Structure 1
Amino acid sequence: MSDEEPGNAMRANPFAPPDETEPAAPSRPRSLFGEILDWMLAPLLLLWPMSIAVTYLVAKTIANGPFDRGLETDAYVLARQIHPVGGVATLTLPDAARDFLTGDNVDKVFYQVIGTRGELVAGVSDMPLPSEDDRPQPGLVEFRDATLHGNDVRIAYTTVAPSTDGSMSGNGQSVLVQVAETFDKRSALANEIIKGVILPQFVILPLAIVLVWFGLSRGLAPLTSLQANLRARRPDDLSPLEASSAPPEIEPLVTSFNDLLTRLEQNIDLQKRFIADAAHQMKTPLAGLHTQAELALRDDVSPEVRRSLEQIATGADQAARLVTQLLALARAENRSSGQVFTHVEMAHLARLAVRDWVRAALAKQMDLGYEGPDEAVFVEGNPVMLREMLSNVIDNAIRYTPAGGRITVRVQPKRDTEEAWIEVEDTGPGIAPAERPKVVERFYRILGREGDGSGLGLAIVKEIATMHGGTLTLGDHVYQDTPRLAGTLVRICLPLSRETPSLP
């Protein structure tokens, strides 16, 4: 394919520099535990093979010591056996010495005696010779490493001075005595030393890693405790953390976090106070607007004006209801504003709430009923807030259930789970499963749904239920007596009171 073909024209250049305009994806920081563990274990694992190498060198030095002394003794013994015979150096060895110099089953021993004229007196002839400068003084033994017959050997060598009486003639050169030994026993001893040092390390190293892991876990325990403390807190708990109980290293972090909580609490309080003040200020003019519209409707006005006045009155009622709900929502959200919790009998409270909404239900020709147990059902809560919660659920059911529908309020004690179930079921259009998580959000309304609600009713119910340690569940309900009749089921689960007060 030529360079002008479309295939090459559209091919990306793999060697082109990256586009600097595209922001790089932020890399996630590593775990603090893993970072410290790496910096502690990496040097340990790096130093371990280095320690093995150093240990091997030390073991070789230790192994060479006793064998060098033995080899030095052999060289001294061999030097003492050199005697002049007819002016020539000769070596006279007893049988025991010859057997000793032949070596053992492990190492091979070689020896060599070079006379004053450079002739071979005894021993092997091909043993490497030291240089003239390296020959030691008579009576001193030197060591060197060499190769003999394909074996690495350790050589101990010394010199024997010629007799001063001229019994050993020559050119004034000393007699050279060399004893060589292979490294087998030395290597075996060095390996034994290595095994004695390395094998325990295979046990110590994993144990050290476990101890480091345990130490880090214990050292980071305050962070884990701080995390557990934050996770266990209620969403509305903005109280400061105990900075004095934190380690000095993280105390500044805890102090800064407490400062953040303080500022957050102040901002939330300002927001709630603004909502409450605004709602209070709006109630009076809305009530006046509704009253003026009602008074104007008593006069003889044209149909167009009457229609406008009715819309004004309806709008004022809706706005007043919205203000009331905003006040209820502000009180429910402000859970730390000194709400007093007492023993509340939910069955009695539910009957009162149903009684409050009978007139609104009859206006839409609805069957509003109550079902409850004969026994008292007590919960710990604020009666005003709980009644507001029930009113919002019933109001929501009346607004969205078609005329002629059925609404039932039910209170059930569940002793097995220590809960009180407050259920409100209706024959309304129901709530789709995908919409249920959204309808409990503020000001959310399902598209196409008839009704003049503000979208705050279920949000208030959820806040009040959460404030009392309960939950809100939305579902479907099918009436057993009329299978074709279905609707919405709203269930509020509140914890039962542990202490049941005596009724008057």
Structure 2
Amino acid sequence: MSFGLFQREQRSLFGEILDWMLTPLLLLWPLSLALTWFVAQGIASKPFDRALEFNLQALTQFVVGQNGQVSFNLNAQARDLLRADDSDLVYYQVLDSRSQLISGEPDFPPPRDFETPEPGRVLLRDDLVRGDEVRVAYTWLARPDPERLVLMQVAETKGKRSTLAAEIIKGVMVPQFVILPLAVLLVWLALVRGIRPLNELEQRIRARKPDDLSPIEESAIPQEVAPLVSSINDLLARLTASLTTQRRFLADAAHQLKTPLAGLRMQAELAQRETDPVEIRGSLQQIARSSARATHTVNQLLALARAETTGRTLPSARIDLARLVRGVVQESVPRALEHGIDLGFEGPDHMPDDCLMDGNPILLQEMVRNLVDNAINYSGRGGVVTARVLLDPFSGVQILQVEDNGPGIPENEREFVLQPFYRALGTNVDGSGLGLAIVQEIAQQHGATVLMEDAHTDRSQRGLRAAVRFMPKTPRQE
């Protein structure tokens, strides 16, 4: 929102700068005129004040004191001093020490009470005489007795002063009426020129092809927008990495789905050509297995996509890891029994209240389910799978372990099995190669680390232990 005089519905950097430059200018212009008026009044008053003081001092020469009496004898010269021009009137007054009128206007306003008489000193003030604003020059005269002071005042209306002040104001205002529009025009042209690099940058971005994600050249841009362009380049780099990952993911997904779908088509064609019920039944069984494999792959792809794209936007809640893992294990018991697996859980019934972790329960259940399913698939009939939850009461670290007695994973391949579609060599278990990749993605979103290690320190025994280590958000207070 713009705070200037000119409001706009859409925020404009050009408009806001113009507002903030012109608004103070337009607000200060009347103030400058008012200040100029007061200054002009002072400038116009100075020469007329000096003339008024001169007239007063000249008239004091006609105040005569003799035999204790004071008189004011006007001659032709004095009358010329009192004769005003066409624009102003002149008033005068002479009072003796008893404030008795000697000559002049009887209704002339007296000096202010706080002014102390000082013989020979000329003072000035603004006052009213017969309703007219006047400038008054006055002084006290020690005639004929120094102890008995005579007051003499001369006043002049302000016609000439106002005329001169108005001429000064006109001389100042007329150039300003020319300079102000010119200044606005120059400011506008300067802003247009200054903002031109932004327009050029906009045109360069608009001229790009949709698939051009290369960084924007930063050498020809203003320093003020360099951080913005740098942020855009960083966004483009991350977008390029994301699109590359998506393309690779789609290619791998298409490759993984191609095999079961090709098998489905082949078995369906064989079943159509067969007349032997036994062969037809065998083809249908193959179709069922291929369909199950394709369904599992699609479900895993959807799970991985959900973990990668929506994990950060799903709501977070306080989660008891022990209860969550125990619930997943209980759900997996029927599948474990179907494969002849001894599935168990080791850990507390629930976590202490101060050890609850922040996370998304849907994603965490998906992570635990993939670890348990992976262990069941690779343990073989008669195998043992144990899901375990450990808590370090001092550091607050929570560890999820899923241990099996399957063939395990060689050390040189443990880093690669966390990538999508990678499967360890030498295994005959159906799978999509996405289970551990899903575990890795969900763990990263919860600030956890995944570690693959041997289930036993004795290398002669087989087995794999997959551990997910959850770090506390803040240090625990004892």
Contact residue 89 and residue 116 of structure 1 kept, 8 A: no
Take 1:62 and 1:212, find their aligned partners in 2: how far apart are those partners? 33
1:391-416 Cα deviation digits (max 9, x unpaired): xxxxxxxxxxxxxxxxxxxxxxxxxx
1:214–1:136 distance in 2 versus 1, CA, 3 Å: farther
Take 1:175 and 1:132, find their aligned partners in 2: how far apart are those partners? 16
Deviation of the 1:137 alpha carbon: 2.4
Deviation of the 1:273 alpha carbon: 1.9
2:154 aligned with 1:179, yes or no? yes
Opposite residue 113 of structure 1, the aligned amino acid is: V
The aligned residue for residue 357 of structure 2 is: none
Contact residue 113 and residue 178 of structure 1 kept, 8 A: yes
1:216-265 Cα deviation digits (max 9, x unpaired): 33333332222222222221111111223322222111111111111111
1:61-95 Cα deviation digits (max 9, x unpaired): 11110000000000010011222345422223331
Take 1:226 and 1:107, find their aligned partners in 2: how far apart are those partners? 68
Q: Percent identity?
A: 54
* RMSD of aligned residue pairs (Cα, Å): 3.1
Q: TM-score, structure 1 length as denominator?
A: 0.50
**Matched residue SS, 2:223:** coil
1:61–1:269 distance in 2 versus 1, CA, 3 Å: same
Take 1:32 and 1:189, find their aligned partners in 2: how far apart are those partners? 46
Take 2:175 and 2:246, find their aligned partners in 1: how far apart are those partners? 67
Matches within 5 A, 1:246-325: 246-283=221-258, 286-287=261-262, 289-300=264-275
Matches within 5 A, 1:325-336: none
Deviation of the 1:132 alpha carbon: 6.0
Take 2:276 and 2:164, find their aligned partners in 1: how far apart are those partners? 122
2:137 aligned with 1:156, yes or no? yes
Take 1:296 and 1:286, find their aligned partners in 2: how far apart are those partners? 15
Opposite residue 43 of structure 1, the aligned amino acid is: P
- What is the aligned counterpart of 2:193 among 218, 223, 234? 218
1:182–1:290 distance in 2 versus 1, CA, 3 Å: same
Deviation of the 1:298 alpha carbon: 4.2
The aligned residue for residue 205 of structure 1 is: 180
The aligned residue for residue 108 of structure 2 is: 127
1:151–1:28 distance in 2 versus 1, CA, 3 Å: closer
Matches within 5 A, 1:348-497: none
Opposite residue 172 of structure 2, the aligned amino acid is: V
Take 1:235 and 1:218, find their aligned partners in 2: how far apart are those partners? 30
Take 1:292 and 1:233, find their aligned partners in 2: how far apart are those partners? 49
Contact residue 135 and residue 158 of structure 1 kept, 8 A: no
- What is the aligned counterpart of 1:82 among 48, 57, 63? 63
1:152-193 Cα deviation digits (max 9, x unpaired): 11100012212xxxxx36x93212111100011111111111
Contact residue 155 and residue 179 of structure 1 kept, 8 A: yes
Q: TM-score, structure 2 length as denominator?
A: 0.53
1:209–1:136 distance in 2 versus 1, CA, 3 Å: farther
Deviates more, 1:135-144 or 1:180-189: 135-144
The aligned residue for residue 104 of structure 1 is: 85
**Matched residue SS, 1:213:** helix
Contact residue 55 and residue 81 of structure 2 kept, 8 A: no
Take 2:9 and 2:257, find their aligned partners in 1: how far apart are those partners? 49
Take 2:99 and 2:258, find their aligned partners in 1: how far apart are those partners? 129
Take 2:177 and 2:225, find their aligned partners in 1: how far apart are those partners? 37
- What is the aligned counterpart of 1:229 among 197, 204, 226? 204
Q: Which runs of 5+ in 2 are unaligned?
A: 1-7, 295-478
Opposite residue 62 of structure 2, the aligned amino acid is: Q
Take 1:235 and 1:28, find their aligned partners in 2: how far apart are those partners? 30
Q: Which runs of 5+ in 1 are unaligned?
A: 1-26, 163-167, 320-504
Contact residue 115 and residue 174 of structure 1 kept, 8 A: yes
- What is the aligned counterpart of 1:95 among 65, 70, 76? 76
**Matched residue SS, 1:134:** coil
1:271-310 Cα deviation digits (max 9, x unpaired): 12222233344445545554554455444458xx69x99x
